[in-house]
């Protein structure tokens, strides 16, 4: 089989935002892993049923995914071996890192990044990229960023990262995230990179050079071609149409676009594959809430029991603040700028750079959570193109909107894992203090386990030819029974 695009695997795929971006950027996402039923349904509908991309979705906990499961999935979807995968990508659930406090080190969600590392070590792709919240860098005082670098270094990968804001990549939203990337050392050597003496341009540099948007997209520029509806008190789900809000179920029946409205470049990009508006619905609003919302001016904030419970109306001529998964429970921070109602699922999707043909499935709460959790496709596009350029797979290209003036962000590239000032994020951290960190201990355990796994892989390398035609058994010792058991 002749492959036209380099192959990627998407871990923690969610509704498919990162996969969508990678696809637009020239990657072939052959396998996706996602445990949430509704998110996996959304992924399947948009990537397989609608687009016929034949991506194999593993609907299970990441801890239950091993070499056998991945090899079988690749054989089924593309007829290829693990060794032919060139990129592992993913956005490990990051809520545990969002607010650093006494409980953060024990948060089980923080351990999912370790599962990402485990899969990278199993597959041994040419490169990896991972998106996470900026809060992960706050673990610098525990030596975590440095230790991640040490682990990847020992596994044969360099590690670089950059703090990026989605609004600087054509997404109408202030969304700050960290993008980690790494290239396998033998691949880097073959490309002529010398990371120790003269580091090659790292992925963040390439993102900033080629893929930054020339201007920030505002809510008005993103949403003005969509129907406004009008304020009405309804407790149930409401559908927003041109000039009205009603309770009729339009789930299977996309609403036609309003006529005679000028469109911005962003709106044309959002409409490029769609003939109508899907998911044009939002949560209902009681009479009491409607009265409260009507008091909030455009861009205003109404305090309600503390900062975390504030009600916010978005501003038409500015970008949105960060969309989050909790939108599925409450939309009080996302009041439409011009109308007394919450934003719709479709409006939220546009603020994440999902085009209008991308349909979200499941309950309304599930749809909003999927949107809030997603990696914006435009960010995935830029990251995928940048790492592809670094691997010499792609030539420089531009985002659907146009892209960029370099960010004034410094690049961070691992040169020597023994450097106590690694990434410029921490001064010297005493060894005994680092050892007191539970996460540090967990990572060291994983580190030791990976060394053992690497030895086992080297020992069994001679068996790979006999496995080529029949795949690798799911019962291979140490591979499919891959859940990492961690005490405490």
Q: Where are the domains of the chain?
A: 7-215+377-467, 219-373
Query: Edge to edge, what strands does the sheet with 176-183 contain?
Result: 56-58, 28-33, 7-11, 87-90, 127-133, 176-183, 160-165, 412-413
Q: In this predicted structure, what is the pLDDT of residue 17?
A: 98
Q: What span, in angstroms and rounded, lies between the C-alpha atoms of 441 and 321?
A: 36
C-alpha to C-alpha distances, 116 to 113, 269, 483, nearest whole angstrom: 5, 32, 12
Find out whether 218 and 224 touch, Cβ atoms under 8 Å: no
Q: In this predicted structure, what is the pLDDT of residue 204?
A: 52
Q: What span, in angstroms and rounded, lies between the C-alpha atoms of 456 and 459?
A: 5
- In CATH, what number does 219-373 get? 3.90.120.10
Q: In this predicted structure, what is the pLDDT of residue 418?
A: 31
Q: In this predicted structure, what is the pLDDT of residue 195?
A: 52
Find out whether 145 and 116 touch, Cβ atoms under 8 Å: no
Q: In this predicted structure, what is the pLDDT of residue 446?
A: 55
Q: What span, in angstroms and rounded, lies between the C-alpha atoms of 288 and 272?
A: 39
Q: What span, in angstroms and rounded, lies between the C-alpha atoms of 43 and 60?
A: 14
Q: In this predicted structure, what is the pLDDT of residue 216?
A: 86
CATH class of 7-215+377-467: alpha beta
- The answer to pTM > 0.85 is no
Q: What span, in angstroms and rounded, lies between the C-alpha atoms of 331 and 453?
A: 46
Q: In this predicted structure, what is the pLDDT of residue 109?
A: 59
CB atoms within 10 A of CB 417: 16
Q: In this predicted structure, what is the pLDDT of residue 191?
A: 87
Query: Catalytic site residue 94?
Result: yes
Q: In this predicted structure, what is the pLDDT of residue 2?
A: 52
Collapsing DSSP to helix, strand or coil, 254 comes out as: coil
Q: Which of 111, 112, 104 is nearest to 35 (CA)?
A: 112
Q: In this predicted structure, what is the pLDDT of residue 201?
A: 42
Q: In this predicted structure, what is the pLDDT of residue 126?
A: 97
Residue of 60, 94, 202, 482 marked catalytic: 94
pLDDT mean values, one per 10 residues, the chain (488 residues): 83 98 94 98 96 96 95 96 97 60 50 89 96 74 69 89 86 92 92 54 52 79 88 62 51 74 88 90 86 90 72 95 91 94 96 96 95 95 88 66 29 30 30 41 54 54 40 32 28
Find out whether 194 and 213 touch, Cβ atoms under 8 Å: no
């Amino acid at each position: 089989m002749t492959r036209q695009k380099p192959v990627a695997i998407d871990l923690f795929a969610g509704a498919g935002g990162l996969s969508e971006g990678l696809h637009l950027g020239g990657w072939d996402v052959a396998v996706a892993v996602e445990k949430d039923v509704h998110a996996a349904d959304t992924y399947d509908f948009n990537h397989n049923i609608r687009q016929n991309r034949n991506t194999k979705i593993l609907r299970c906990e990441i801890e239950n995914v091993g070499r056998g499961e991945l090899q079988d999935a690749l054989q089924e979807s593309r007829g290829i071996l693990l060794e032919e995968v060139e990129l592992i990508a993913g956005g490990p659930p990051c809520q545990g890192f969002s607010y650093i406090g006494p409980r953060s080190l024990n948060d089980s969600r923080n351990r999912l990044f370790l599962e990402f590392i485990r899969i990278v070590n199993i597959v041994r792709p040419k490169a990896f990229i991972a998106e996470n919240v900026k809060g992960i860098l706050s673990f610098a005082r525990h030596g975590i960023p440095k230790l991640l670098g040490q682990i990847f270094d020992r596994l044969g990968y360099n590690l670089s990262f950059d703090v990026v804001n989605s609004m600087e990549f054509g997404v109408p939203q202030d969304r700050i995230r960290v993008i980690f990337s790494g290239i396998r050392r033998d691949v880097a050597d073959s490309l002529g990179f010398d990371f120790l003496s003269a580091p090659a341009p790292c992925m963040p540099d390439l993102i900033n050079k080629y893929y930054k948007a020339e201007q920030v997209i505002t809510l008005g520029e993103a949403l003005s071609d969509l129907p406004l509806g009008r304020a009405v008190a309804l407790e149930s789900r409401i559908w927003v149409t041109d000039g009205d809000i009603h309770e009729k179920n339009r789930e299977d029946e996309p609403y036609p676009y309003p006529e005679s409205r000028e469109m911005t470049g962003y709106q044309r990009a959002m409409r490029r594959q769609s003939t109508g508006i899907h998911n044009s619905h939002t949560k209902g609003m009681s009479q009491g809430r409607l009265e409260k919302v009507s008091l909030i001016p455009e861009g205003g904030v109404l305090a309600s029991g503390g900062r975390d419970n504030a009600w916010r109306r978005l501003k038409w001529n500015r970008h949105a603040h960060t969309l989050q998964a909790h939108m599925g429970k409450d939309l009080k921070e996302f009041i439409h700028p011009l109308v007394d109602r919450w934003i719709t699922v479709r409006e939220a999707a546009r603020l994440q750079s999902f085009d209008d043909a991308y349909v979200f499935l499941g309950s309304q709460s599930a749809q909003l959570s999927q949107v809030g959790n997603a990696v914006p496709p435009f960010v995935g596009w830029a990251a995928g193109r940048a790492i592809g350029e670094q691997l010499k797979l792609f030539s420089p290209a531009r985002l659907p909107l146009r892209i960029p003036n370099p960010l004034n962000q410094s690049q961070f590239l691992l040169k020597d894992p023994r450097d106590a000032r690694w990434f410029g994020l921490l001064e010297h951290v005493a060894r005994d203090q680092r050892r007191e960190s539970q996460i540090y201990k967990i990572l060291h355990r994983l580190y030791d386990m990976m060394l053992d796994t690497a030895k086992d892989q080297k020992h069994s390398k001679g068996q790979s030819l006999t496995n080529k035609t029949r795949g690798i058994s799911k019962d291979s010792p140490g591979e499919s029974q891959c859940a990492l058991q961690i005490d405490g």
